[in-house]
Chain A
Amino acid sequence: MAPILDIQNLRKSYGQTEILKDINVAIEPGDFLVLVGPSGCGKSTLLNCIAGLEPITAGRLTIAGKDMTEVSPKDRDIAMVFQSYALYPTMTVAKNITFGMKVRGVDQATQDAKLKEVSELLQISQLLNRKPGQLSGGQRQRVAMGRALVRDPALFLFDEPLSNLDAKLRVEMRTEIKKLHQTLNASIVYVTHDQIEAMTLATKIVVMKGGVIQQIGTPAEIYNTPANLFVADFMGSPAMNLIPARVHRDGHGHRIEITRARSEPLVLADNRPLDLPQDVIIGLRPEDIAEAGYRSGEAVQQAPCMVDMVEPAGADTYVVSELGGKPVTARLHAETSAMAGQELDLAFDLGKASYFAPETGERLN
């Protein structure tokens, strides 16, 4: 299938400042692409370039196979949902939703039919005669989505659409957006700084930093095999434990030695066929460290560790212990008897362990 959006060697600079450096991304129809990164990473600029609201400095951008470099936003067959919703304040909800069609000279009957369809889909039929000022945040969000949906575009663009909502509403709307994507099978590019939103919504994630793409992949790929230390640290909550370690080779594979301030070094074996240098940073997700006896498998090894802190979080309890000079978080079951200041046998599962080069931060395995 031809990609619905194809970006090749895109660059964007303001004067001397280069905001986006050599961006290459493509998505298939029906893909949900999430651009994620810390603020200032260029993700919103990239979205504006796709929308045509910012001209690109170099490169090629096609939507549905057509070159968009010189095409104005209105002719790109896109719809966009903004962070501030950007509803027209003096128009009613109905007029907000139909404004685009009115501007494009769509006949009244079609407008009415579309309005009805979309407002029923989003459950905003009872709000059609209100002004944006009379709506709650969640309702405005729905209207903004209605304005996009009614256009039936080739590509939807979402610019941090949930960041103005409170936590509970955000989770609700997240589910709704996911449901909409599944029902409509729409192609979506979605910008967020929230890595949980990225993980839950995306079929494909682009992690950006400083105008450079760090990694492109499915949520599982990004989560399980982060391409570098930045992605490892940014994606996942609590973050991946990144522990400096020393590698010794033996007959079977590698022994990973992690220093500890108050006791003997912790030595773990990784017998996967790897080729690691002497100094590495080992990345372990909190769920790869469990209480002894609750985890089994070939790569699981137990060791007593001093518990520095216990953080119950309801479904799980997080336990922090110092390893390699870093506080390391382990995800334990809720009923654990772990107590701060006492030793606890922890089970380390190295089956999914990541290794990074300390100097470059790049992934080694």
Chain B
Amino acid sequence: MTDTTYVSARAGTRSTGQRLGRIALRAGLYAVLILFALWYLMPLFVMLTTSLKSLEEIRTGSLVALPREITFDAWKTAWSGACSGIKCEGLRPYLWNSVLIAVPGVALSTLIGALNGYVFAQWNFRGANLLFALLLFGCFIPFQVVLLPMARMLGILGIAGTIPGLILVHTVYGLGFTTLFFRNYYVTIPHELVRAAKIDGAGFFRIFWSIFLPLSLPIIVVTVIWQFTQIWNDFLFGVSFSQSGTQPVTVALNNIVNSTTGVKEYNVDMAAAILAALPTLLVYVVAGKYFIRGLTAGSVKG
């Protein structure tokens, strides 16, 4: 009798100990995660607060302090008055340039990637594996390598320094990844679907349009986010293949930050940087949950 009491009492302490241990572990885990989150959010915090301060306050105050007096002047300047080189029209025209480049660039590379992926996954042809390997290789080519040949190509086509030229560049260099995304997604769709549609009388494009595209929403979202981020954030192609008036926002941001005369306007720089980053942020917020879902989407059950 006493023995059993003793045993159960000991078991009780052990389980309490275990529970405490679990709680401590959990708390530690949260502490570490929160610490990392703060660490990564710090720059954004500094940017936001700095952009809302006046130059005077930036000079006198601490970097991480909250603004004493909130002013949107810096945002106004960044939007429409900041100077890059000799022009002082802010980011506005360049943001529009970026939209003009990114939207068709994303649409074209996604659509062609979908078509390519459909062919690689469902229509076996001679040399398909080699061609796919080459396309994949395209994903890993450093872009610096292609700058000169591409400049020559754009020159021959007569679209050097134009927005269509940049759209072409982004479409071509996006195809490696977009094809890979769609091919890997379509590979999970049973071949019998194509066979059934063939017997039903549907042709190559009809099958793509009526059967494969309607299945593709998750992977389209993934590809659009990926491509939009790539094209919007691109600097190298933008700076290489644009001229005054067709520069994307990343290039303009660089020019604004680098062409200050006299006092460095940190608040304007910060506001401009946030403005330039806002669209990609927006895309993630709107479509982010589809992004994860699309990346992990498995086979399509018929």
A interface residues with partner B (beta carbon < 8 Å):
51, 53, 72-74, 78-80, 82-91, 99-100, 103-104, 132-133, 140, 147, 151
Contacts and interface: CB of A to CB of B under 8 A. Distances in A.
7 contacts: A80-B195, A82-B192, A86-B192, A88-B193, A99-B197, A100-B200, A147-B200
Given A88-B193, A90-B214, A73 B198 contact: yes
B201 A74 contact: yes
A281 to B, nearest CB: 41
Contacts of A53: 195, 198-199
Given A90-B211, A140-B302, A78 B206 contact: no
Given A74-B201, A89-B215, A103-B202, A80 B302 contact: no
Interface string B38-53: 0000000000000000
Interface in B278-302: 300-302
Given A83-B192, A88-B197, A90-B211, A99 B202 contact: yes
| Those 10 A-B pairs whose CB atoms lie nearest each other, nearest first | A100-B200, A86-B192, A86-B196, A90-B214, A74-B201, A103-B201, A82-B192, A73-B198, A73-B199, A87-B302
Given A82-B196, A84-B302, A132-B302, A100 B201 contact: yes
A347 B215 CA distance: 64
Contacts of B197: 88, 99
B28 interface: no
Interface in B205-248: 206, 210-211, 214-215
B302 A86 contact: yes
A154 to B, nearest CB: 13
A88 B201 contact: no
A84 B196 CA distance: 11
Given A74-B198, A104-B201, A86 B193 contact: yes
Contact of B300 (A89, A103, A104): A89
Nearest to A81: B196
Nearest to B211: A88
Contacts of A79: 199
B199 A80 contact: yes
Nearest to A90: B214
Interface residues of B, number: 19
Helix, strand, loop or mixed for chain B's interface? helix
A339 B163 CA distance: 92
A73 B198 CA distance: 6
A140 B301 CA distance: 12
A135 B199 CA distance: 23
B200 A99 contact: yes
B85 interface: no
B155 interface: no
Interface of B: 190, 192-193, 195-202, 206, 210-211, 214-215, 300-302
Given A53-B199, A89-B302, A100-B201, 14 more contacts: A51-B195, A82-B195, A84-B192, A85-B302, A86-B192, A86-B193, A87-B196, A88-B302, A89-B300, A90-B211, A99-B197, A104-B201, A147-B196, A147-B200
Contact of A99 (B190, B210, B214): B210
B146 to A, nearest CB: 38
Contacts of A73: 195, 198-199
Residue picked from B196, B201, B202, B215, most chain A C-beta under 10 Å: B196
B199 A51 contact: yes
Contacts of B214: 90-91
Nearest to B196: A86
B185 to A, nearest CB: 13
A79 B201 CA distance: 10
Contacts of A99: 197, 200, 202, 210
B288 to A, nearest CB: 24
A144 to B, nearest CB: 8
A96 to B, nearest CB: 9
A200 B201 CA distance: 32
B302 A74 contact: no
A88 B189 CA distance: 11
A100 B198 CA distance: 9
A90 B301 CA distance: 10
A128 B200 CA distance: 19
A92 B148 CA distance: 52
Contacts of B301: 89, 133
Contacts of A85: 302
A189 B252 CA distance: 68
A68 B300 CA distance: 33
A297 B192 CA distance: 53
Nearest to A100: B200
A51 B197 CA distance: 12
Given A90-B215, A103-B206, A84 B200 contact: no
Nearest to B202: A103
A88 B198 CA distance: 12
Contacts of B190: 84, 86
A225 B105 CA distance: 70
Contacts of A90: 211, 214-215
A133 B300 CA distance: 10
Contacts of A84: 190, 192, 302
B207 to A, nearest CB: 10
B118 to A, nearest CB: 15
A99 B301 CA distance: 19
A32 B264 CA distance: 87
Contacts of B206: 103
Contact of B199 (A74, A87, A140): A74
